[in-house]
Chains A and B, each alone.
Chain A
Amino acid sequence: MASIWNISILLLLVFGAANAESNVNQEAKKPIQTFRPYNVAHRGACGEIPEETTAAYLRAIEIGADFIETDILASKDGQLVCFHDVILDDTTDVKNRTEFSNRQRTYEVQGVNVTGYFVVDFTLEELKSLKVKQRFSFRDQQYNGKYSIITFEEYITIALTADRTVGIYPEIKNPVHINEHVKWSNGKKFEDIFVETLQKYGYKGTYLSESWLKQPIFIQSFAPTSLVYISNQTDSPKVFLIDDVSIPTQDTNQSYAEITSDGYFSYISQYVVGIGPWKDTIVPPKNNYLTTPTDLVARAHAHNLQVHPYTFRNENSYLHFDFHQDPYQEYDYWINQIGVDGLFTDFTGSFHLYQEHTSPYPKDSKTSDDLLRKIEKMISHYENA
C-alpha cells in the first residue's frame, strides 16, 4: 500500500516530467504517441491557414498533429519544394505577375492535358517570389498574400525544431512528370534527391525502431515503382497511396482493382508498411449516404498493412448524411467501426480533440513510462473538468 508520501513524490516526478516538455533537447522530447491512430495533418492545418506553409505546419503542431504531411515537387533548377498541384494557378498569385505572363504551358500529366503555370518551369528563386493563398473560398482568407512556398528542407526543419516529437509524412509527388521535366547531375532522379534530403537530416530506421521513434517518418507515393526503387536506399517506412477506382497508377498503369487485390498486397507488403486509399473507395457513398463498407481494410490488415485514408474535412459539403454534419461523428465511425490506423485530415485540431476525449491514454500500461504518462493524463483531465 503506497502511502500519501510516496504518492506525493511520484506526483512531483510526474509534474517534473510534464514541465520538461519545454526542453528542446531531442533526447528529452515528449515522444510520438503510438497507441492510437495517427493524426496526420494533411498539408498542415490547411483548414485554417493556406496549405503547405510554415504557418500551417506550425499551427498543426500547436494543435496536436502526430505527423505533418506534405507533397514534394521540384523546381526548374532541381530544388525540392512543398507544393501540391503541378500548376501554380489555384493557390498562388502567379497569374497577377506580369514578369511571368509568358510562362503558361500545356503539358500532359497522367494522361490529361493540363494548362497553367507549371512548378517545373520556375526556378526556386522565382517560386519563392510568389505569395500563396487559401485554396478554398469557404475557408478563412485572412492570410492570403502573406506566405511563400517553402522547400523540403525548411519543412523538415519545422518538424525537427518542434518542442515535442513530430513526424513527417512527405509524398514523392508526380514523379513521372517531375523526372520528365527536371534533370539532376550524375544521372540522379527525383527519388534519389528526395531520399538524400531525408538522409541528410538523419531520417532512418524501420517502423517503430529506436531511430524511427526519434524522427518518425512515412514516405508516401501513388507510384509504386518509386517506392520499390527507394527501398534499396532507405529502410524508412513507406505508404502506398491509392487513388479513386477509375484512376490507374501513373507509372505502371495498373487499375484500382489490380493494386487492391490480395495478390498485389502480398507483393507490395514487402516494400510498404501501409496503404493510403481515398476514403470513398473504402466505404462507397451513394446520394451522400454511406453504403456497405468494402473489405479493403480487413484484407490490408490481413497483410499487415496499415490503412491511412484521405481526406477528412469538417465542412458539411464533405460529410455524408450519416454523420449529420458532425465531423466528430465521422472520426468516430472511421476509428471505431472501420478501424483505420491513421487518417489524413485538414482539421488536425478537431481530430486531436476527438482523440483526447475518447482515448486520452493507452488502456493497458506496460512500462513504468506508460504508467506515469497515464497518471499525468488523469491529473490534467481532472484539472480540466
Chain B
Amino acid sequence: MASSRWYIVYVILFIQLFSTGVRGARSYHPLSSQSYNHAKQPLQTFRPYNIAHRGSNGEIPEETTAAYLRAIEEGADFIETDILSSKDGVLICFHDVILDDTTDVGNYTKFANRKRTYEVQGQNITGYFVVDFTIEELKSLRVKQRYPFRDQQYNWKFSIITFEEFISIGLDAKRTVGIYPEIKNPVFINQHVKWANGKRFEDIFVETLKKYGYKGSYMSRNWLKQPLFIQSFAPTSLIYISNLTHSPKILLIDDVTVPTQDTNQSYWEITSDSYLQFISSYVVGIGPWKDTIVPVVNNYLTTPTDLVARAHAHNLQVHPYTYRNENQFLHFDFHQDPYAEYAYWIHKIRVDGLFTDFTGSLHWYQEWTSPVKDVKSADALLRKISGMISSYEEP
C-alpha cells in the first residue's frame, strides 16, 4: 500500500517536471541550429560573395520569409535586407519608406486617413509611411512583387517580417548563411520614431544583433560562425555603431548626384582617396551603384573608373549593387546574358561581392567558373591524366 502512494508521488513529481519543461520548451528542445552549430557547412570565402538582394526577389516578393528561404536554397552566401522601424519602434524588413508600391495598404478603409507627405532626403514624398503604422498593423498587410514583369503568383500571400524573424531565418539554415542588414534611412527614422532611455534606431539595431550572438571582426572565428555585414548610406550611423560592435561594416554609395543624407557630402568627396582613408578606420568595404564604377552611355559600357582599384588600395572590399537578369537592366556589351555581366564584374573589374536579385543565376555562374570542390593542383591533374592513359584500351 505504501509503495502505491510513493508511486503516485513520483508520478505527480514527474508530471510537474514535465509541465515545467513544456512551458520552458526552448531550453528543453533547442533549435537544431543552436545545438549543432559546429557541424554546419561553413561560409565560402574564396570567391566573391553571392549576396541575395532582398532575398530571391527576382522570383518571390522581396524581403519575405519565402524569398529568403528560396535564396538560401539557391546558394546565397548572404541574405540581405533593409531595416526600418514601425511606429511602435519594432524593427522590420522593408525597403521603401512608404507601403504603397509593394503592399495592399491602399485597400484598407481603416487606413484611408493615414496618408501623409513628409520630406525624406530633401524630397517630398506622399504615401502611407511605415513609421505611421504599428507592428500589428504592418503585419496585417500583404505584400506583392514590386515589378510587373516578374512572377505575380505569390502576390498577397506573404507578410512583412521583423528583423528578428529575418535573423532566425539566417541562423536556422542548414548551412552557414550570413546576414547583410542595412540601417536604412536612419535620419528619417530617428525623426519619426522614439525609443525609451534616449536610445536611437542604431542602438536598437545593434542590440538586436547582439541578442542573437553576432560579434567578432571580419574573418574572426565568431564572424565565420555567424557572418554579418552591416551596411548603410549614412556614414555617421556606421561610425556611431563602431563603438558598439566590431562586426564589419559597409558604406553604401549612391549615384553621383545624390549626397549623403546625414553629412550632405557629395559622391566625389566620399569616393576621394582621403575619404576612403578616413572611412576605412570604420568600414571594411564600400557598396557602390555599379553604373558609377563603370559609367554607361546609351546602354553601352564606357571606360571603367579607378574606384575599385583605389578602394582595394585602402583595403576596402567592393560590393556593387544591383545585378538583375532582365535585359532592360543589361548593357548591350553583355548581349542580354546576365552571366556575361557576372563574368565582367568578377573577372575584369574584380569585385569582392555582388548584390543580386537572382542569386540562383550568380550561384550557377560561380559554381561553373570557380567551383567549391575540384580546385586541383597541377600534380593531382597530372596524376588523373596518367591514370586515364594507363587504363585506356584500344577499342
Which positions in A face B, CB cutoff 8 Å?
Answer: 1-2, 4, 6-7, 10-11, 47-48, 138-140, 142, 289, 314-317, 321, 324-329, 347, 349-350, 353, 357-358, 365-368, 371, 374-375, 378-379, 382, 384-385
B394 with A385: CB separation less than 8 A: no
List the B residue with the shortest CB-CB distance to A322. Answer: B151
Q: Does B369 contact A (CB under 8 A)?
A: yes
Task: State in angstroms the CA–CA spacing of A138 and B299 once bound together.
Answer: 11
Contact with A along B378-395 (1 / 0, CB 8 A): 100110111011101011
Q: B386 contacts which chain A residues (CB < 8 A)?
A: 1-2, 4, 6-7
Q: B369 contacts which chain A residues (CB < 8 A)?
A: 357, 384-385
B368: contacting residue among A11, A289, A357, A367, CB under 8 A: A357
Task: State in angstroms the CA–CA spacing of A375 and B378 once bound together.
Answer: 13
Seed contacts A4-B382, A325-B338; 7 additional CB < 8 Å A-B pairs: A10-B389, A316-B326, A321-B151, A325-B150, A326-B360, A358-B368, A374-B388
Q: Does B195 contact A (CB under 8 A)?
A: no
Q: Does B100 contact A (CB under 8 A)?
A: no
Q: B332 contacts which chain A residues (CB < 8 A)?
A: 139-140, 142
The smallest C-beta distance from A136 to any residue of chain B, in angstroms, reads: 10
Q: Does B235 contact A (CB under 8 A)?
A: no
Q: Does B205 contact A (CB under 8 A)?
A: no
Task: State in angstroms the CA–CA spacing of A378 and B387 once bound together.
Answer: 13
Q: Does B159 contact A (CB under 8 A)?
A: no
A314 with B336: CB separation less than 8 A: yes
B361 with A368: CB separation less than 8 A: no
Task: State in angstroms the CA–CA spacing of A326 and B163 once bound together.
Answer: 30
List the A residue with the shortest CB-CB distance to B382. Answer: A7
Q: A367 contacts which chain B residues (CB < 8 A)?
A: 395
The smallest C-beta distance from A328 to any residue of chain B, in angstroms, reads: 6
A139 with B336: CB separation less than 8 A: yes
Q: B101 contacts which chain A residues (CB < 8 A)?
A: none
List the B residue with the shortest CB-CB distance to A7. Answer: B386
B394 with A378: CB separation less than 8 A: no
B337: contacting residue among A2, A4, A349, A382, CB under 8 A: A349
B390 with A2: CB separation less than 8 A: yes
Q: Which 5 A-B pairs have the closest CB atoms?
A: A357-B368, A314-B336, A325-B325, A140-B332, A321-B151
B381 with A379: CB separation less than 8 A: yes
Q: A353 contacts which chain B residues (CB < 8 A)?
A: 337, 339
A375 with B335: CB separation less than 8 A: no
Which positions in B face A, CB cutoff 8 Å?
Answer: 58-59, 149-151, 153, 300, 325-328, 332, 335-340, 358, 360-361, 364, 368-371, 374-376, 378, 381-382, 384-386, 388-390, 392, 394-395
The smallest C-beta distance from A353 to any residue of chain B, in angstroms, reads: 6
Q: B336 contacts which chain A residues (CB < 8 A)?
A: 47, 139, 314-315, 327, 347
A385: contacting residue among B340, B370, B385, CB under 8 A: B370
Q: A6 contacts which chain B residues (CB < 8 A)?
A: 386, 389
A326: contacting residue among B328, B340, B361, CB under 8 A: B361
Q: B327 contacts which chain A residues (CB < 8 A)?
A: 138, 314-316
Task: State in angstroms the CA–CA spacing of A129 and B371 once bound together.
Answer: 51
Contact A328:B388 (CB < 8 A) given known A138-B327, A321-B151: no
Task: State in angstroms the CA–CA spacing of A365 and B394 once bound together.
Answer: 10
Task: State in angstroms the CA–CA spacing of A379 and B360 once bound together.
Answer: 28
Q: B337 contacts which chain A residues (CB < 8 A)?
A: 314, 327, 347, 349-350, 353
B339 with A328: CB separation less than 8 A: yes
A378 with B381: CB separation less than 8 A: yes
B149 with A368: CB separation less than 8 A: no
A321 with B325: CB separation less than 8 A: no
A328 with B335: CB separation less than 8 A: no
List the A residue with the shortest CB-CB distance to B324. Answer: A325
B358 with A325: CB separation less than 8 A: yes
14 residue pairs from A and B, CB less than 8 Å apart: A4-B386, A7-B382, A10-B389, A47-B336, A314-B337, A315-B336, A317-B149, A321-B151, A326-B358, A327-B337, A329-B361, A347-B336, A367-B395, A385-B369
List the A residue with the shortest CB-CB distance to B387. Answer: A2
The smallest C-beta distance from B302 to any residue of chain A, in angstroms, reads: 14
Q: A324 contacts which chain B residues (CB < 8 A)?
A: 58-59, 151, 325, 358, 360-361
Q: A321 contacts which chain B residues (CB < 8 A)?
A: 151, 153
Task: State in angstroms the CA–CA spacing of A136 and B340 once bound together.
Answer: 20
The smallest C-beta distance from B97 to any residue of chain A, in angstroms, reads: 28
Best-surrounded residue of B385, B386, B388 (most CB of chain A within 10 A): B385
B392 with A371: CB separation less than 8 A: yes
Q: B376 contacts which chain A residues (CB < 8 A)?
A: 382
A368 with B394: CB separation less than 8 A: yes
Task: State in angstroms the CA–CA spacing of A289 and B300 once bound together.
Answer: 32
B325 with A1: CB separation less than 8 A: no
A382 with B325: CB separation less than 8 A: no
Q: B339 contacts which chain A residues (CB < 8 A)?
A: 328, 350, 353
The smallest C-beta distance from A43 to any residue of chain B, in angstroms, reads: 14
Task: State in angstroms the CA–CA spacing of A314 and B58 once bound together.
Answer: 16
Task: State in angstroms the CA–CA spacing of A10 and B386 once bound together.
Answer: 10
B335 with A326: CB separation less than 8 A: no
B326: contacting residue among A47, A325, A371, CB under 8 A: A325
List the B residue with the shortest CB-CB distance to A8. Answer: B382
Best-surrounded residue of A347, A353, A384 (most CB of chain B within 10 A): A353
List the B residue with the shortest CB-CB distance to A384. Answer: B369
A314 with B335: CB separation less than 8 A: yes
Task: State in angstroms the CA–CA spacing of A44 and B138 once bound together.
Answer: 53
List the B residue with the shortest CB-CB distance to A319. Answer: B325
Q: B375 contacts which chain A residues (CB < 8 A)?
A: 385
B381 with A382: CB separation less than 8 A: yes
Contact A316:B392 (CB < 8 A) given known A325-B58, A349-B337, A382-B381: no
Task: State in angstroms the CA–CA spacing of A316 and B150 once bound together.
Answer: 9
Q: A378 contacts which chain B residues (CB < 8 A)?
A: 381, 384-385
List the A residue with the shortest CB-CB distance to B347. Answer: A384
List the A residue with the shortest CB-CB distance to B149. Answer: A316
A371 with B389: CB separation less than 8 A: yes
Task: State in angstroms the CA–CA spacing of A140 and B331 once bound together.
Answer: 9
A1 with B390: CB separation less than 8 A: yes
Q: A10 contacts which chain B residues (CB < 8 A)?
A: 385, 389
The smallest C-beta distance from B270 to any residue of chain A, in angstroms, reads: 33
A375: contacting residue among B338, B364, B371, B385, CB under 8 A: B385
